Chain A
């Protein structure tokens, strides 16, 4: 039974309880004290030791009347077609029985390929540790029948955890309700996303994905790899032909 997150940014109060609960539960280190000047976001992005990150975007209200503040709790998307999993050469990245994507730290050898493959910029490698890390969807908690720490801590239930199809049902209803209230910009992100075949951790956004540092139409690279491999084969063949040609030409060169 696929589990996931529905993060409803329309009720996020930007309190960062999710960031702290995640670090606290998983016993992650802080990753530096940096004043960024980027609204209230002094975390920057997801990283090897930051598995929940709250984004802050101050902008003109869409109605043109005043300002609004977009707040979003970002997390690993646990894509249904996961680029990191497909990229991992050691088999460290696996899919769990909850349909989440999990990196086994005792297998990972830090090749870093998942880092380049992730279309959301989620997974990262810690240089002093050497391995790649990301949100585990609180795999340890799930196995004991508990919900992830961030969902538990969220005071407004902006982060909801549960069965994916149930969450999607709730999310669709929520978008409809918001549209009815005149919030036209509300949209779901990650439910119908062909490139990743859908995200287990999907979102309700109030603006375009780029505003939140999300890619508008991400794709798991392996989905479009056919042409690449075809090129690899063609290149290899041509190279082989060239090598053969060189050998032949060199061998014949004695006479003339």
Chain B
């Protein structure tokens, strides 16, 4: 679900085919019948943006028919935990959870907590922007989480299990059919298949990708799958779990060693100006008293030692003051709107093409035009590099290159074959690459660029007395270089990421060896061990036939070369595998340790019968029967008391632009979603906008890669899919007058694009809410630079995002379609509004009193007033 794996991860898909060959049933739930569906045992159509209803329907089915894995649920999840008395569910409040703060435009989480426990720290700490109880304002709950009140019979009305049941009670198969357009019979087939293939002897896996994440409720989609898989007992078991198929090569690495503004390496929270003035404050506000996250101070101190070396001492808080601080939301959309307002002077765009790859191209370009300088690093000129003289605004005559004041620098980048380094892909696997050839001409790797930039900047700041520059001067930046271009040695960076003991620079073997006293340094704690004993384990390539089926000696997976996370859950509370067939990791009484096919995801020597004493601290709080040790209570969270901005349970909300009213709640959309109320970011009506009657979804093709910057220059790929096209059903083609092979114009309030037409039965109209809803599907790989060119699909999208991770809503919106190329070409929203509607106050996306916290410019801290 939420993935077109055969087309977007074809090499990974070979393992799905292998499973199919061995009898596995492959079910593909997708609005379109794709090449994945062609290989699946069953294709199930679903309306884009309705997956939570579908998953909720499955959850309800599992609960009502008692198909959940009872022992697993009781032992390993927080099903029995009681929730605070003040909690009210969306069923009670017409789509809201208890705690919506009108003034602040967000939830107060205090009623979502475990009864009597305040401030449970979620795995990997608080997101600073959440301002949850305990985040920056009060002390964490320490070990109380593990002693939270429970009802082992799962009957108490306030236990998680019953709350869950009530929450999804209305997600019946009929409701699923009505919301998703999926015929009941098909839905029930899926439900039965899932239940039949879960339990002791069998497991089922979910694979998802951006079809789930690119929604304004994206994170809750994942949560819904997590709840389902926990109920079925599939998490931490071979053949089970949830596989996050990442969006492109090494983007997993991009979040591990992050290029994300709100994370430090290893998913440590970025310090916030208000809540992390000192290291102590930061640690207090993010450390958990129980569970593995109690170890967190070791990781942040080791990180600081890696970055600041000898300059980081206990006395100066290990240089914590030198780290930049968040003052608000600095995510992509906010940055772009800040740029458009002239508040961002400079912009580095490296290996990314936001003008095509990110939503709302005209606003992206407006932002770029307002910056003072932009640096683009890429293999060839991309649309982001040529924004100052090419693009729809120039073609229409609205703008001339002379009008653009931005200074643009372009640096050619080395290709992946021309530089050494690692890829970290889906499955958390690090694989090292050597450079096969030197990059041509002036092309250089990112490592070279960043290293030398840093070196030069350090040089410029060398004599500065400004306290603000101390961090720069303290930064360790001593990698040796080689070759005619002084290329930094990538393995040295890997060694630093892995970590070492400061005294003798000997590499650490795992994050267990990291300390909070400054005696260790590690650039990314989850990667510790990749360079154990000075051996680059990411470079290992032992063939499968020479090792066990888990293949631990091919590359290296974080953490600790663990291939399956939470694998303690593959054994029952007594440490015995749930079944021989699904044995993976188990307790060996003779050796008094956990053993198995993989690195156990548990304290090696913690016996299954260990129960933490009342005064236990840190790792001692982890019980022998608590596999989910990143959580404060060691349990899989069916109900999430903290960590999420938009609710402890997934709820079906419609996308920002939908064809129908939300049939379940008055609250149409995710109340916490991130919106941008701007003239240049017009939204359609909440639902059933007559100007934009079709559902629009975007997709990817195997033949091209993301924004097409690499694939549209390669003629062998360009010829496979030369033109932007839309997929429409024969019915829609008839109604709209479209011809297969002809041209069409697809419009939203943000813009219009021209595309060829592919009439196909693979994208049927769905019966939703009693009427037929047509779908239009567009791939987004085209732009105006390259051997083959076309309009940028993402010009149609608006700025609206998931509040937890700021990911755009790209998979479900509405549009209109008509035959022929647009006469009225590319009326960019930045200069003209969408055609107005002349009826009375349009229906709202939110209940009265629900207004989103609109993200504010980064320079101004505090909560916001909506933009004009």
Contact = CB atoms under 8 A, between A and B. Distances in A.
A204 to B, nearest CB: 14
B549 interface: no
Contacts of B720: 16, 19-20, 42-43
Given A13-B6, A37-B756, A69 B721 contact: no
A39 interface: yes
Contacts of B702: 14-16
A156 B14 contact: yes
Interface string B692-735: 00000000011100000000000111111111010000000000
B719 A32 contact: yes
A33 B719 contact: yes
B10 A11 contact: no
B761 A67 contact: yes
A36 interface: yes
Interface in A18-46: 19-20, 23-24, 29-37, 39-40, 42-43
Contact of B740 (A13, A15, A29, A37): A37
Interface of B: 6-7, 10-11, 13-14, 17, 21, 33, 35-39, 43, 701-703, 715-723, 725, 740-741, 756-758, 760-762, 787-788
Given A20-B720, A36-B741, A40-B701, 15 more contacts: A11-B21, A13-B6, A13-B35, A30-B715, A30-B719, A33-B719, A34-B719, A37-B757, A37-B758, A67-B33, A67-B762, A69-B37, A70-B38, A155-B11, A155-B13
Contact of A69 (B33, B701, B719): B33
A68 interface: yes
Given A11-B17, A69-B35, A34 B722 contact: yes
Interface of A: 11, 13-17, 19-20, 23-24, 29-37, 39-40, 42-43, 58, 66-71, 155-157
Contacts of B11: 155
* Interface pairs A-B: 4 shortest CB-CB: A37-B741, A33-B722, A30-B715, A69-B38
A32 B723 CA distance: 12
A71 B762 CA distance: 15
Contacts of B6: 13-15
A39 B716 contact: no
A67 B38 CA distance: 9
B762 A69 contact: yes
A68 B721 contact: no
Given A36-B741, A37-B741, A16 B703 contact: yes
A11 B7 CA distance: 13
B761 A58 contact: yes
A13 B14 CA distance: 9
A157 to B, nearest CB: 7
Contact of B721 (A13, A40, A155): A40
Given A29-B715, A67-B761, A13 B38 contact: yes
A155 B39 CA distance: 13
Contacts of B721: 40, 42
A19 B13 CA distance: 18
A157 B14 contact: yes
A15 B38 contact: no
7 contacts: A13-B6, A13-B38, A17-B10, A20-B717, A37-B741, A42-B722, A155-B11
Nearest to A14: B35
A29 B787 CA distance: 14
B821 to A, nearest CB: 14
A157 B13 CA distance: 11
Contacts of B719: 30-34, 42-43
B761 A35 contact: no
A15 B39 CA distance: 12
Nearest to B5: A13
A16 B721 CA distance: 11
A39 B716 CA distance: 18
Given A11-B17, A15-B35, A69-B33, A33 B10 contact: no
Contacts of A156: 10, 13-14, 17
Nearest to B756: A35
A11 B715 CA distance: 27
A17 B9 CA distance: 12
Contacts of B13: 13, 155-156
A34 B725 CA distance: 12
A189 B718 CA distance: 31
B716 A30 contact: yes
A135 to B, nearest CB: 16
Contact of B43 (A29, A42, A66, A71): A66
Given A13-B6, A37-B758, A156-B14, A71 B717 contact: no
A123 B356 CA distance: 40
Residue with the greatest number of chain A CB neighbours at <10 A, chosen from B701, B758, B787: B758
Nearest to B16: A156
A42 B6 CA distance: 19
A11 B39 CA distance: 7
A157 B17 CA distance: 10
Nearest to B758: A37
A35 B723 contact: yes
Contacts of B725: 35
